[in-house]
Structures are given as structure tokens and as C-alpha cells.
Amino acid sequence: MIQLIIKRLAIAIPTLIIIIAFVFGLMRVAPGGPFTNERALPPEIEQKINEAYDLDKPLIQQFGIYLSKIAKGDLGPSYKYKDFTVNELILSGFPISLTLGISAIIISLLLGSLLGIIAAIKRNTIFDYAVMGISLIGICVPSFVLAPILSLFFGLYLGFLPISGWNGGNIYNLILPVVSLSLPQIAIISRMMRSSTIETLNSNFIRTARAKGIPKRRIITKHVIRSSILPIIDYLAPATAGLMTGSIIIEQIFGLPGIGRYFVVGALQRDYTLVSGVMILYASLLMFLILLSDILRAILDPRVKIK
């Protein structure tokens, strides 16, 4: 297990540095700058500002300074949110995005897996056709289309749920954004789980278990689910990271103060450090979740050796 973690870290650290370099260069190539506005600043003031933020130095030197700060856990000051560092902005917004993402992925995993397993067991029945048909619609309709529809129907027409705001994490304010995020994932996971379960049910070791007279319920709970869940584990790593940090549009639609809002504002206003900080967070989170999925796969799948 220790060797597995060391190998993954040996790959992750250089990959993260490459991502940081790519984002750093991409933001500098984009036209304009963090202090560019309609009314040009006097040259001497602009020079002083650039000196204060090390923007007057060559790009290679700027990148070296930035890497040295990241190594110390300092993502730098925000160029647009005055008196705030990127660390402070991320710490204020990430818990909200984390709450949305974790809630959505738990609901997606539970409902999607359950529907997929039942659809596979009841293959070619009305239930199977209904689940697959609805899941296809769920895949085709993205979250940013689903969110306004849910807000319009449940928020404005029926008045059951609030359509915007965080309200300290009130559960009623979470329902619509979490449902908007989770429905497409439920559709994807249910289809993946159905295919994986059907493949497992047709495998030789399941036939052997049936021939030994093992009860069907025990076969499904002890053998089928454990084998069928493996592809879902591989999918959950990028899906979870995407839900937690990529719910940018959902946060904008429902007026939630997550990191998605900061990413949008930072990209539009060329806030180099803020955009880079969010991307570093996303990349680090994705790598951690991939490592976690590898460990879970090694534990659940006896064919994978843990060294």
C-alpha cells in the first residue's frame, strides 16, 4: 500500500507542476492584465503596481517566485479582491462547493447504483426500459438547463423552495442546486452500473455460486455488487472533483458564494493568482481522489496487488 501511494505521488507532483506552468502561461498570454481598465493609469503608478506584485520581472522569474510561494502554501494576494489573499477566498468559498459536491455525489452514487442494479436484475422489463429511457434524458439535459427549470417550477410556480442564496447552509436552500447537480450523475451511474452488473451476472464465478445453491440475495449482496462497483469507483474520482469545483454555473444560477463565483470573476478580470489558485485546488483534489479510488480498487479487487 505504501509503495502504491509513493508511486502515485511520484507521478502527481510533476504533473501538478506542469499544470501550474500551463495555467500560469495561459493567463499571461490572454490579452489585458489584472490592472487594465478603460481608464489607463499614469505610467509611474502602473510601474509601481507592477513592481509591488513582481509583474515587472521576466516570466521565468515570476514563475519561480510563484512556485516558491506555493511550496510554502501561499497562493498569493488577489489582484481584484482588495485586502484578501487567494487562500482566504478559497477557504471561504470551498466549504460551500464541497457541501454541494459531496451531497450530490452521495445521492448520485446511492440512487444511481440502486437503479442500475435493479434494472440489470429485471433486465428487459418495463422497469429496465423506464430507467434506461429516463437516464438517457438525464444525460442529454445538462445541469445548467435543468437548474432554471427546477427553479421556475418548484421555486416560482409552486413556491416550495427558495431559488437563490446560501442562508447559512439551510437544507431548503441546498435542495435545488444539489438536485440539479446530481440528476445527470444519477443517469450516468445507473447506466454504468447496469452494464457492469449484467457483465458480472454472466461471469463464471456467479454461475459457480448459483450451482452451489447459494441464495440469490447473498450472491447479489456479497459478490455481484462488489464486482460491479469497480467501474463506478474509477468514475467517481473525476466526477466528484468536477462536482465540487466545477459547479460554476450552478453556483451562479442559485447565487451561492462558492469558489465557482471567484473563478468566473477572476477569469473575466484577469486575476492571475485567483484563477491559478482555483485550478491548483481542482488539480490537487482530482489527484487525491484518483489515488483514493486506486486504493479502494486494490482493496475491493483481489486481482490488484497492493505493494
pLDDT digits (tens, 9 = 90+) for 71-109: 888 888 887 777 788 888 888 888 888 888 888 889 988
Q: For 117-153, how does the pLDDT look when each residue is reduced to its tens digit (9 = 90+)?
A: 899 888 889 988 898 888 888 888 878 788 888 888 8
Residue 126: predicted pLDDT: 92
| Band of pLDDT at residue 303, cut at 50, 70 and 90 | low
CB-based contact 109:228 (threshold 8 Å) = no
| Band of pLDDT at residue 37, cut at 50, 70 and 90 | low
User: Within the chain, where are the H helices?
Assistant: 2-29, 43-52, 59-71, 86-121, 126-140, 143-150, 171-201, 204-211, 216-218, 225-228, 230-245, 248-253, 259-268, 272-300
Q: Which amino acid is at 163?
A: I
Q: List the domains of the chain with CATH numbers.
A: 90-259 (1.10.3720.10)
Separation between Cα atoms, residue 63 and residue 9, nearest integer Å: 22
CB-based contact 113:232 (threshold 8 Å) = yes
Separation between Cα atoms, residue 238 and residue 240, nearest integer Å: 6
* Residue 77 φ/ψ, nearest 5 degrees: -80, 155
Contacts for 47 with CB less than 8 Å, ≥ 6 apart: 56
Residue 277 scores a pLDDT above 80: yes
| Band of pLDDT at residue 249, cut at 50, 70 and 90 | confident
- When pLDDT is averaged across residues 267-271 and rounded to a whole number, the result is 77
Please tell me the pTM assigned to this model: 0.77
The closest alpha carbon to 176, from 154, 159, 145, belongs to 154
Residue 1: predicted pLDDT: 67
Neighbours of 279 (CB within 10 A): 20
Q: For 157-171, how does the pLDDT look when each residue is reduced to its tens digit (9 = 90+)?
A: 888 888 888 887 788
Neighbours of 86 (CB within 10 A): 26
